[in-house]
Amino acid sequence: MATTGEHGAALPGWFASPGEGDTLAWVSLALMIGVIYGLVTLYAAFDRWAERQSHGTPLAKTIPTMLTIALLYEIFPLGHFNILLPISAILIALMADWSRFNLRGLGQDEPHAETSKTDGGDHA
């Protein structure tokens, strides 16, 4: 389990000598990649659900933007970034939602009624 080193101190059992393979490191790396992938997948599923629930509300873009910022803060250490960066992203999403919500009252958010119906059938 533990071998005696040159100075009489025992090396830990998990120590890998230079040139040897370290299976614990590879298993840990695969586990970390799996955990990050699972976290991103869960956030994506929640984001799709939140987007479907917020469709037609005044905060249709702001809610997914806030979820994305929360994901970034959870995965990456973003403490060294200025706080104005996520706040500006949220404000941009709020302004986009506000403008779209106000333009909907003018009838400009709906798709155009002038679609091309010239063929009316098969495309070969």
pTM over 0.75: no
In a shared domain, residues 65 and 92: yes
In a shared domain, residues 35 and 68: no
Contact 51, 63 (CB under 8 A): yes
In a shared domain, residues 51 and 61: no
* CA 123 remoteness from chain centre: 40
Residue 61 within any structural domain of the chain: yes
Query: In terms of residue numbers, what domain contains 73?
Result: 57-105
Mean pLDDT, the chain, whole residue set? 76
Residue 8 within any structural domain of the chain: no
Q: SS3 of 31, please? A: helix
Per-residue model confidence as pLDDT tens digits over 51-103: 787 777 778 788 888 888 887 887 777 777 788 888 898 999 899 888 887 87
